[in-house]
Amino acid sequence: MRPVGHTCTRWPATQRNIARDPCDWLVPATGRTDAKLSMPLPAARLMQKDHCVRMDELRQAAIDRLPPPVSEYFNQGSADGITASAAVAAWDNVRFRPRILRDVSVVSTATTVLGRELATPVCVAPTSMHRAAHADGEVATARGAAAAGSLMAVSTNSGRTFEEIGATAAAWWLQCYVLRDRGLTKAIAQRAKAAGASAVVLTADTPVVGRKHNAGKGVWDVVPAGYHMANIDQDGLPDSALDKADDLTPDTISWLREVSGLPVVVKGVLRADDARIVASAGAAAVQVSNHGGRQLDQSVAASDALPEIAAAVQESGAEVYVDGGIRRGEHVLAAIALGARAVFVGRPVLWALTAGGETGQGGSAGVAAVLSQLTAELGHAMALAGARTVSEITSDLVA
């Protein structure tokens, strides 16, 4: 018997190939003034000139534009949403011990992940349904990430093809849900590599999908099939082929590395013992994550799990990333001080894709703006904390 809450992410055959104008459900972005969504640029020399947004206003602007089933899908957590609603406060609760008199006249947010140079440690977490937020979908997100000097993890469920994403010249990784059909999984990974993906993110916290409550219609009732899994030819496949595999083991890491020819990042790690196992099984990196509170409700906050995991893999050389609830530059500073090399943001990118940027029309400009804003806030927080480079953001900065 499938556990409660298991859902197949495939549409019924009757709903596939529904023709529809792209994003014709979006409410036009009108009447938004710069005054409403902007704030003064603090420490302008550290900040990029992008339009600044307050995250809660960006979230509300996205909710105002989207039909309820889509915005519910973007924002919901699993079960009673306890983990999802605690994520931001967990970062807010970190307290700093700032350094003084450190000559912060030059501050750099530049870093590397898996050897790739980036202008920022703020990267794009894998999420699905980008085409529900903007007609250009994941292509717009990739362009926005590239403009901000960031990197994007592209969901297995992407509504745009890997080739289209590869053509943007963005740095990107494939997020991989290992499917019951391993041959299909292998084909997805190899197609992504051929299109330019430089790593595979194995999402390991989803043997079954967390159960979610919908107030009315669900996202699957309103979004056309083509907005999802554009890289999988579903014709002739049994529904079960697309179910997520529930029999993964640490050996899956080496299997995925071999079939893809790419380094593997394991996402969804919340325990030091798992982090050690994953690193010794050949993972190039671990991503501390509770899936944005969308899997096991009442899981620990990523910020609470991060320090023990960073300590556990320190000797192995595996890189450590974190996601979940990161909304401000201070949160990024806290994450790096607690042991992360980079952070990934999920919902803020979806909100920005829907309604970000100077015009409020979202798209690549919106994504670039929110990533640049977080990066600029990080630079500002670094100056205040007395850290000139990302490597100077060390654990002693945290109380």
Positions touching ligand FNR (CB under 6 A) are 73-74, 87, 125-128, 155, 157, 175, 203, 267, 289, 291-292, 294, 323-326, 345-347
Contact 305, 287 (CB under 8 A): no
Please name the residues in contact with 297: beta carbons below 8 A apart, sequence gap of 6 or more. Answer: 77, 78, 79, 80, 81, 82, 83, 84, 210
Taking the complex as a whole, the smallest distance from the CB of residue 367 to ligand FNR amounts, in Å, to: 13
Taking the complex as a whole, the smallest distance from the CB of residue 370 to ligand FNR amounts, in Å, to: 11
State both tokens at 107: 């501050």
Cα–Cα–Cα angle for 233, 237, 242, rounded to 5 degrees? 80
Please name the residues in contact with 328: beta carbons below 8 A apart, sequence gap of 6 or more. Answer: 55, 91, 374, 377
Check residue 46 and report its DSSP letter.
G
Q: Is 291 a catalytic residue?
A: yes
State which residue, 104 or 232, has the beta carbon closest to ligand FNR: 232
Check residue 19 and report its DSSP letter.
-
Contacts 24+ apart (CB under 8 A), 32-40: 32/61, 32/360, 34/358, 37/61, 37/360
Residue 14 vs residues 11, 225, 398: alpha-carbon distances, Å: 8, 10, 54
State which residue, 125 or 318, has the beta carbon closest to ligand FNR: 125
Taking the complex as a whole, the smallest distance from the CB of residue 9 to ligand FNR amounts, in Å, to: 9
State which residue, 52 or 301, has the beta carbon closest to ligand FNR: 301
Taking the complex as a whole, the smallest distance from the CB of residue 153 to ligand FNR amounts, in Å, to: 7
Nearest to 222 by CA among 233, 230, 214: 214
Report how far residue 119's alpha carbon sits from residue 330's, in angstroms, rounded to the nearest whole number. Answer: 17
State which residue, 295 or 386, has the beta carbon closest to ligand FNR: 295
State which residue, 58 or 87, has the beta carbon closest to ligand FNR: 87
State which residue, 319 or 323, has the beta carbon closest to ligand FNR: 323
Report how far residue 155's alpha carbon sits from residue 159's, in angstroms, rounded to the nearest whole number. Answer: 9
State which residue, 141 or 157, has the beta carbon closest to ligand FNR: 157
State which residue, 255 or 351, has the beta carbon closest to ligand FNR: 351
DSSP per-residue letters across 316-344: GT-EEEEESS--SHHHHHHHHHTT-SEEE
Taking the complex as a whole, the smallest distance from the CB of residue 203 to ligand FNR amounts, in Å, to: 4
- Please give the residue whose beta carbon sits closest to ligand FNR in the complex: 346
How many helices (H) and strands (E) would you count in the chain? 15, 10
Taking the complex as a whole, the smallest distance from the CB of residue 292 to ligand FNR amounts, in Å, to: 3
Contact 83, 371 (CB under 8 A): no
Taking the complex as a whole, the smallest distance from the CB of residue 205 to ligand FNR amounts, in Å, to: 8
Report how far residue 47's alpha carbon sits from residue 230's, in angstroms, rounded to the nearest whole number. Answer: 37
DSSP per-residue letters across 108-125: ---EEETTEEES-SEEEP
Taking the complex as a whole, the smallest distance from the CB of residue 75 to ligand FNR amounts, in Å, to: 7
Nearest to 312 by CA among 320, 324, 321: 320
Catalytic residue among 130, 291, 331, 380: 291
Helices 329-337 and 363-385 sit at what angle, rounded to 10 degrees?
A: 60
Which residues are designated catalytic?
291
